[in-house]
Amino acid sequence: FGVRALLVVTLTLSPVTATVWIENDVTGEDAYPPLWDLASGNLLDFPVKDNKIVISAWNYQERLGVYKSLLNASAKYFGAFGPQNRGNILWGLPLQHGWQFRTGRLADLSGVTSCGYENGEHLCQSVRSWWSCMNYYLAIIPFLGAVEAGLFGQLPYEIEILPPEEQKDDFCYNVKDCWSRMPKLMDEWKAFFEVSFSSTFSSFKLDDALGLMWKAHTTSIAYALPKFQDRLKYLSDPEANFSKAWANAVDFIGATHFCTDFPTTNNFQAFLPPRMLAEGDVLPSISDFSPQQNNVLVSLRALHTANKLTGGLLLKLWQKAMSTEAGREMGRKLIEGLASS
């Protein structure tokens, strides 16, 4: 079952045909996550208490600061990939988080608190939000893996992550705690930072780094998905279905070693829904979404359905097809095509 045949099958399952990747203007301020300039990019700027750097991961701006510190600490490895650190493949994480914040996906949708709302605690990230909880495993766990790998050098203090007000057992809060609870997950992220960023710049290989990053990324999602299944009940049916389809799609995207630098991620995110999906939203004709945004949602749904119907076989075939550089290049072109019209 060759690469070409697999791509044809995948295309057939989707109503969208591959076309030219449309580049968007990603030079403006809107290309950055909201409040990016206000987020701290230095770990030593966070408060220190009892000889520990204390980070509130349930505050959007502080979680953004975690991402910014990761970008700053790894910037030296990406100097050859574009100015202003825009070639850094870690951009995908904060840009995704910024999209979640901008579209209201981090707020408390249960109606119990005002967490995440303009007229309440605007910067609060709700522990009842599926997106916010899933993102914890793509923010705090990578960050602590980087700390353990020595990306930040020898820090004068330990790191302590403040717990949420409820559901505390769903998360870990420092390097030791995370290692004891989820050693495989921590190991994946530590390996990414150690292997990718401990070598000299001359031996840095972007494709290898992307492969390790996506492996850790998909492991995070696989670990968190069953844990936060109960948070989906707070979402509308269309939004819950999109959330599950998006988590499934990440496995397909990651297998291509899709580049998550600043311009590529921004180009891709332009095709994601600009708000949460509501009851009554019917694909592919959501009136306040662009044709491309409607198309991408249909494609994600079709991919998720096809993978479920085949018992995960489609993903396994796809991963096999993506095991060569040539296959991955074709896979990336297909994904870029699905995000265009």
Residue segments in the chain with a per-residue pLDDT below the cut of 70: 1-29, 198-204, 338-341
Residue 257 in tokens: 């070693």
- How many angstroms separate the Cα of 111 from the Cα of each of 101, 105, 136, 235? 17, 13, 21, 11
**pLDDT score for 21:** 37
Residue 168 DSSP label: G
**Residues paired with 115 in a beta bridge:** 121
Tally the C-alpha atoms within 13 A of residue 121's C-alpha that lie toward its C-beta: 14
> Rounded to whole angstroms, how far apart are CA atoms 58 and 36?
16
**pLDDT score for 337:** 73
Rg of the chain on CA atoms, in Å: 19
> Rounded to whole angstroms, how far apart are CA atoms 29 and 26?
8
**pTM for the complete prediction?**
0.91
**pLDDT score for 183:** 96
**pLDDT score for 203:** 60
Measuring CA to CA, which residue among 93, 91, 90 is closest to residue 151?
90
195 by Cβ neighbours in 10 Å (0-12 / 13-18 / 19+) ranks as middle
**What are phi and psi for residue 52, nearest 5 degrees?**
-135, 140
**pLDDT score for 120:** 80
